[in-house]
């Protein structure tokens, strides 16, 4: 059965008139008759009993009628839903982003997205940098926001901007009065950072190792928010991506420009073998436009 045949059957079955059905479908009587004949031949029997005066449903035609109505309703609903998704009148997009980005720069971007597409739902997975790559690679999400991968990957990386690490010190520290600080001075204080295998931790260690220095870690945490609270409480100092600077200030710490800072591109990760949905493409475009 084809949709054209089912629509033709319904038009005749509801009006019990080929002439009326022709008007509704904008078909000639011969074209409609051929369509019904092809449907009956495909199913193996007559759906209508007709003569020069009357048209009536056979028993098989009566059985087909409610099924045909449901099929057409489902088809029309499917067409309507897909049109709404492509026109962004409805839909869903899934995103994975490292917490430092999800908690600081993402909310205003999502506000812009919601203003443009109020009926599209967004699911944000705030996970560590390494998990962002995994979720995009495993197609659990369509978009990922993370640091540029340090090793080759099959994913496509679209840079948004370059992030520079900043030093984080307690507000009541003697260091807080400075405008900038160098590594030698910063590392004389107890150092607080993320636990391995955090990308932030690895970048710090590799940056210092290349300069003949070692990271003197005294406190570790899984979350940058916890690192900020530890620094604010006077336990030590840290160095974090600049995108976290506002968060560090809100937690009660002080941020300083760091000489010879760690630099790393932050961008969007996508799977080149997986075409983005209309909703994901729209969010991707806003992410690029905002930076």
List pLDDT tens digits, range 113-136. Answer: 999 999 899 999 999 888 999 999
pLDDT category of residue 51 using cuts at 50, 70 and 90: confident
Instruction: Give the residue carrying structure tokens 């070692």.
Output: 214
How many C-beta neighbours within 10 Å does residue 163 have? Answer: 21
The pair of structure tokens assigned to 214 is 């070692």
d(Cα 24, Cα 11) in Å, to the nearest integer?
7
Reference 286, options 150, 142, 106; nearest CA is 106
d(Cα 211, Cα 240) in Å, to the nearest integer?
18
d(Cα 38, Cα 197) in Å, to the nearest integer?
66
The confidence score (pLDDT) of residue 282 equals 93
The confidence score (pLDDT) of residue 84 equals 76
- Residue 170 · residue 232 · CB < 8 Å: yes
pLDDT category of residue 1 using cuts at 50, 70 and 90: confident
Mean pLDDT in residue range 40-63: 90
pTM of this prediction? 0.68
Query: 153 pLDDT exceeds 90?
Result: no
Reference 146, options 162, 164, 133, 134; nearest CA is 133
């Amino acid at each position: 059965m084809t949709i054209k045949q089912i629509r033709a059957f319904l038009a005749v079955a509801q009006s019990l008139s080929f002439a009326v059905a022709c008007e509704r479908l904008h078909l000639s009587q011969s074209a409609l008759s051929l369509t019904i004949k092809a449907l009956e031949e495909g199913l193996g029997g007559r759906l209508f009993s007709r003569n020069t005066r009357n048209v009536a449903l056979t028993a098989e035609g009566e059985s087909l009628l409610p099924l045909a109505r449901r099929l057409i309703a489902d088809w029309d609903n499917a067409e309507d839903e897909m049109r709404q998704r492509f026109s962004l009148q409805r839909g869903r997009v899934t995103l994975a982003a490292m917490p430092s980005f999800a908690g600081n720069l993402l909310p205003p971007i999502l506000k812009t997205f919601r203003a443009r597409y109020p009926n599209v739902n967004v699911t944000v997975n705030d996970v560590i940098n390494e998990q962002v790559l995994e979720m995009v690679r495993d197609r659990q999400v369509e978009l990922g926001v993370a640091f540029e991968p340090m090793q080759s990957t099959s994913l496509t990386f679209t840079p948004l901007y370059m992030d520079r690490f900043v030093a984080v010190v307690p507000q009541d520290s003697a260091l807080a009065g400075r405008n900038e600080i160098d590594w030698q001075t910063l590392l004389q204080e107890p150092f607080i950072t993320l636990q391995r295998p955090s990308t932030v931790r690895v970048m710090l260690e590799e940056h210092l190792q290349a300069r003949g220095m070692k990271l003197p870690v005294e406190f570790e945490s899984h979350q940058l928010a916890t690192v900020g609270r530890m620094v604010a409480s006077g336990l030590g100092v840290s160095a974090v991506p600049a995108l976290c600077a506002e968060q560090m200030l809100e937690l009660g710490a002080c941020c300083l420009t760091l000489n010879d800072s760690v630099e790393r591109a932050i961008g969007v990760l996508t799977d080149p073998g997986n075409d983005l949905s209309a909703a994901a493409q729209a969010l991707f475009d806003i992410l690029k436009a905002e930076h």
